[in-house]
Amino acid sequence: MKRFETGASDDGWYRRWFNRDYLKLYSHRDDEEAGIFLNFLIDRGYIKYAQKILDFPCGVGRHLQYLLSKNYNAYGMDLSTELLNEARKRTESESKESRLVRGDIRYPPFKTGFDIILNLFTSFGYFEDDDNRLVLNEIFRMLSPGGKFVLDFINIDFHLRNLIPEDDFIIEGAKVKINRKYNSESDRLMKKIEISREDDIRQYIESIKCLRRSDLMEMFKLAGFKVIDIIGSYDGSTFNEDSSRMILIGEKLCIA
Ligand SMILES: C[S@@+](CC[C@H](N)C(=O)[O-])C[C@H]1O[C@@H](n2cnc3c(N)ncnc32)[C@H](O)[C@@H]1O
């Protein structure tokens, strides 16, 4: 697994990892967590009825399903066919109209006109810098003036301080081995995941650019966003150095 050693990033790791094995490993990231965060965004007035919302990328649609169940006008996009199939099953009873699109967050097939775009649960920083910026620019393009962008990223410094280099456990009879490390050369947080059941061994990589508060503030500014809030957890607590999440709310400035 040379990639893990070198910190090489954009070799398409995100195309391989987001499948059934990912879902098994992250099953604790569930609907309850999605509901808590969306209720916070609704209570604080960031999400309002009649607004056009894009969950970008939506994964299995846990946030999308919640929004549709409450009659919000929401859509989802993701690259993973396996996760989109799950999302389709979850959302088809909530809406007659198809709400899901397959696409790459760098090249979304949508025109402008969204009031709020959600990028949730560390779905950012997967690429090299130019492509990470491209994602942000595309989000800006798709928003209407005054529209909001919610970026839910990890608080990198907190995670690096608390990094657990190795983990071993069993899930549904499969052995899971996880190695985590910070690669200072590429400034990326790397995770190697091995899932084995007898002689069936599958290996995956996760590679996230270490974007800190100042990096994201600068990227938002360059894309044209004003940062109007920074939150540290899904229940809405204020961000500080011990927060596990770093959730930025950006507003697309209206040109006077
Ligand atoms: C950590 S998951 C989060 C999914 C969802 N937001 C949630 O909270 O459950 C990251 C998602 O990004 C999607 N993804 C990864 N690379 C992508 C790309 N280049 N374009 C679109 N989606 C991508 C994956 O398929 C996966 O569903």
Please write the tens of the pLDDT for every residue from 184-226: 999 999 999 999 998 899 999 999 999 999 999 999 999 999 9
pLDDT of residue 28 exceeding 70, the answer is: no
**Confidence tier at 155 by pLDDT (50, 70, 90):** very high
Q: Measured in angstroms, how far is the CA atom of residue 69 from the centroid of ligand 1?
A: 21
| Alpha helices (H) along the chain | 2-6, 13-17, 20-25, 31-43, 62-69, 81-91, 129-142, 156-161, 213-223
pLDDT in tens, 87-124: 999 999 887 788 999 999 999 999 999 999 999 999 99
pLDDT for 3 equals: 58
- In single-letter form, the type of residue at position 205 comes to I
pLDDT for 31 equals: 83
**Residues ≥6 apart with Cβ < 8 Å to 111:** 142
Annotated domain spans of the chain: 13-158+212-252
- Distances from the Cα of 81 to the Cα of 86, 96, 109, 194, 207, angstroms: 9, 20, 16, 22, 20
Q: Measured in angstroms, how far is the CA atom of residue 149 from the centroid of ligand 1?
A: 16
Query: And the tokens for 190?
Result: 């790397």
User: Which atom number of ligand 1 is nearest to the Cα of residue 104?
Assistant: 20
- Distances from the Cα of 92 to the Cα of 64, 101, 125, 134, 217, angstroms: 11, 13, 30, 31, 37
User: For residue 104, what is the DSSP state?
Assistant: -
Q: Measured in angstroms, how far is the CA atom of residue 251 from the centroid of ligand 1?
A: 22
13-158+212-252 sits in which CATH class? alpha beta
pLDDT in tens, 215-233: 999 999 999 999 999 999 9
Output the pTM of the full model: 0.95
